Amino acid sequence: MAKKIYDNIKMLAPDGQQLCCVGKKRADWYVDRNLADIVCKDPLTIKLNFEPSARNNINDLFFLSHKKNICVVCGNDNLEDLTKHHVVPYCFRKHFLSRYKDKNHYDIVILCKECHQRYEIKCDCIKKDLAIKYNKKVLGDKFEILKRNKTNRLASAILKNGDKIPQKRKEKIYSELKLFLNKKYITHEDLVSIENMNPDKTRIEWHKEVVDNCNDIDLLIRNWRRHFVETMEPKYMPEYWDENR
């Protein structure tokens, strides 16, 4: 991370009631447009100059509380080691109805690189369970996905710009395609087939199909949260965070 995730800048309504905590970018946006004034520098606090359309978070302690910029698992506070992690994977959540996506930052936590990598390996089991449940095959490991993506691009290059590619480069591309398909010769039909074999697109369709066929999105969300908590045993989760929310 080049900067903190949580700036913890308090935003107040005109009557002084705290509405939420916001980031520096959002606070600057209000102040620069004279929509809010800085009323305190420590802790940094801004007050709106207009009545907000709603006060949705005034009783929600999670959104009002101060949050630490540390790994929620091990407590590492070195910004260069920290990353954002979606407890409910974004690849699924982006297909949710808007009411589930409005506050998706509730499930964005901070992990150091080491803890993040350790969990990503372990969370594959849920994806495989979902794949079995919805009769979809999970594409292989990241190395296999990268290899398929590269092959897809090579076939596309031959089909679209084959006449512009130098002969030596073209021969090398064909060698890689032959190795990928385990064939001595590559036909036009083979090129089209490889170009249409887009792993990223297949993964997107698979994630969407899981969401579309899920009868209980709330349960799906809670299962992801519970798996993260039980697997990683985080000791520094944000205050008032609740897996059953």
Domain ranges within the chain, ordered by starting residue: 1-67, 69-122+215-245, 142-201
**Contact call for residues 16 and 49 (beta carbons, < 8 A):** no
Tell me: pLDDT of 139 over 90: no
CA distance 153 to 155: 6
Is residue 148 predicted with pLDDT exceeding 80?
A: no
Predicted local confidence at residue 137, as pLDDT: 54
DSSP letter, residue 11? E
pLDDT of 131 > 80? The answer is no
Q: Over pLDDT 70: what percentage of the chain? A: 88
pLDDT value, residue 83: 93
11-20, 113-122, 173-182: least confident range: 173-182
Q: Decide: 181 and 190 in contact? Cβ < 8 Å.
A: yes
Reduced to 3 states (helix: H, G, I; strand: E, B; else coil), residue 98 is helix
Give dist(CA 190, CA 196) in Å, integer.
10
pTM for the full model?
A: 0.69
pLDDT tens-digit readout, 183-208: 888 888 888 888 777 666 656 677 88
For residue 192, the model assigns a pLDDT of 86
